[in-house]
Structure 1
Amino acid sequence: MSTESFDLVSLGFEFRSRDSDAAQKVFDTLNSRGLIGYLRAPQISDQLTYVPVDVATGKQGSALLATEAGELATHELSLAELAEELLEAAGAQALSLDGVIVAGTEVEVTGDDDAVEANSGNQVVAGTHLMASELVMSSLGLPGVWKVRQTDERILAVREGEPVEIRLGQKLLRAIELQSSEGYIHLSIHATGKTFQFQDSNVFEYWMPTEDRPVPMAATGSEVAQLQGKLGAQLYAADSEELLELEKFWPEAASGIVRLAKLRSLDGLRLFLKGLGLPEEMVDYMCGEPLAEGFTELPRSLPAGLDLALEEEMARAKGVMKLVYRTGWTPAALISSSLAIIGAGALLNRWMKTSGTPGTGWRRTIMFFWYSDAGYYLARGVRQVLQAKLNKR
């Protein structure tokens, strides 16, 4: 039988209350009858356990079967006609077909039923031209903390606590963000070639299953295995339009996603990250593994975030901006230059006041920024001197 022509039908098995064995019951029911498809991660809560399955049918709606020899056959009945039998065999209370209950009675959920069990993993992001201050600003007022490890222009950041939506805007940004939730890994790719942007930098998203498994177990190369491969490609393929958009900013990531969509495994995810020059340990931290040494905790307040943003900007300064920001200056140079600028400011202010140009409003504005700049670097130099003395104690 040819594997070229098939349709997909979604089944949903509903079990009353929490049932940790529900997925295995559904697998055994489908496997014993040779039905072909993919079993997805169950959704478990105190009042309801829901097990979704995607099953292959022929173009006429009849269920496709796997023979003992690994070949394909067509069942004489449709899945709708098999519904009662499947429901009873699995021990479920209801069975839906493409979202419509076709057997049993829908399980009623009352009150606030916290659905899927809480995720114990972390939000992880790593990439180039990634600013720690942007992570701070994206999480203001929210529980949780960012911990980062930084080298040159590359940052690895792990958020312990509630995940947040991050907006990244630096030029030439290329970053991968990972989260684990409900049997899936949510992979987001941030990329931009603009100087700066206020819009979301997330140009691609992919949900990779971690608990889905094929039904039934089939020998490699058999007709059943070939059909399962095509089912997987159809169910878990990456969005083609998003891939085209990603190709403009990060071609290596786009081709890597295509390979990952075929592998759909943690090892495949590690290979994807390695191919982009990012640390494979992102996978471990996403799964909740303890952090290695070298991570520092980011501040969580607005003033600290703004101060960090300025420090990052000064650290990345080049050319004339290194002079503007006094990058690399010693504490003594910072203090003496700031005092000189304050003295020059007094003379400038006297001259503008005597000459009458510019007007009083502009003169005060100019002097405000003049003294603010000098005062900042004076305080910075004094702070470095005091810090050095404290470190020697």
Structure 2
Amino acid sequence: MFKKLLLIPILAIMCICPLFPVHAANSTITNVKVVTRNDAEVPFVRTVLEVTNTVKPKAVLDNTGKYITISLPNTQIADGVAHTYTGDKNVISQISLAQHMYATDINIRVPQVLNKNDIKIFSLSSDYKNGRPNRIVIDINDKSGTVKQWRQWQSKQQYQGSGAADDQNVTAYAVPAYNLNNSYSLTSGLKGKIICIDPGHGGSDSGALGAFSKEKDITLAISMRLKKLLEQAGAKVIMTRTTDVDVYAPNDGAVEELQARCDVANAAGADVFVCIHIDSYSTPDVGGVTAYYNNKTPYDLGLAKYIHKENMKATAFPDRGVQTANFYVLLHTNMPATLVELGFISNPSEEKTLNTDAQQQNFAESICQGLSDYFQNSGK
């Protein structure tokens, strides 16, 4: 029996289970899904447990760094739900569910030594409108460095596994091809430009949760304000969503949802793509604004740089800089793109500010000005 020593911090959107039994309504695990997410800067394996009622987990990492136990009090396993699961072997060795009298334990064994920063656990509330129950989400980072990330595809050819196109034993992975035709405009002025705005998350995906608000609502509010400003300047604005909906479909997979957002921009022949997000972290003291880009074109850095410069004039949040990333939407759009993280919803002060009309308007105006500066300087 391994010795459990290190408590894993739960994200701000969750409460750690009390030391004594709670008298909450019983909950039942009705479904378990395990997927590999390779659209993030650090790939990870995500385990999602669907539960009938709200559960407050307690997580423990043992002193070897290779065993994690998440205890769900007053929770049972539904009939027909398997008790063992496997994930990407580089990240997860085995996941097993153990039923006890007053709780269910999720025991996860991993091949690489983990620390508390490699594990994130958070809850998502039910969304009955879109058919989504309460969920417990467990993310474990890839420490092996071997999980394949989505990368820039250098030609219109499909990626052929190891590259042996004539080898019938090699699987041809159908991936979106990067369009090498540079149809985007770099001329001065916003008038006539086609600008795609992507409010992060939406519908069945709430994004990060704060103490009283959801990421998807803040990103949409800022995006709609930005739309109005850009249209007043004469730009044609393409929105991936204008209401609280999934872009692809409710309960869809990560790649399908992200590709759908790229498809909106690509089909419109947008000149730029701006993806708006709100960040989150496991401790409430972290905050600030970041702009991400990928060098798939010579102009992605310029787009991120000009927008970030104006964003920092529009807030008192800390400056986290302009950083490179392999985010899916940055790689699979056919035009210069940036993803901005406009503060941390897990930071109580920043969450409060992000929910004010003034800050949302300030960010909308700063992004609009950053776009104007980008075109004024021909993307450089």
TM category, shorter: under 0.3
- Give the TM-score of the pair, scaled to structure 1: 0.20
- Give the TM-score of the pair, scaled to structure 2: 0.20
- Which one has a bigger Cα radius of gyration? 1
Quick check: which one's helix share is greater? 1
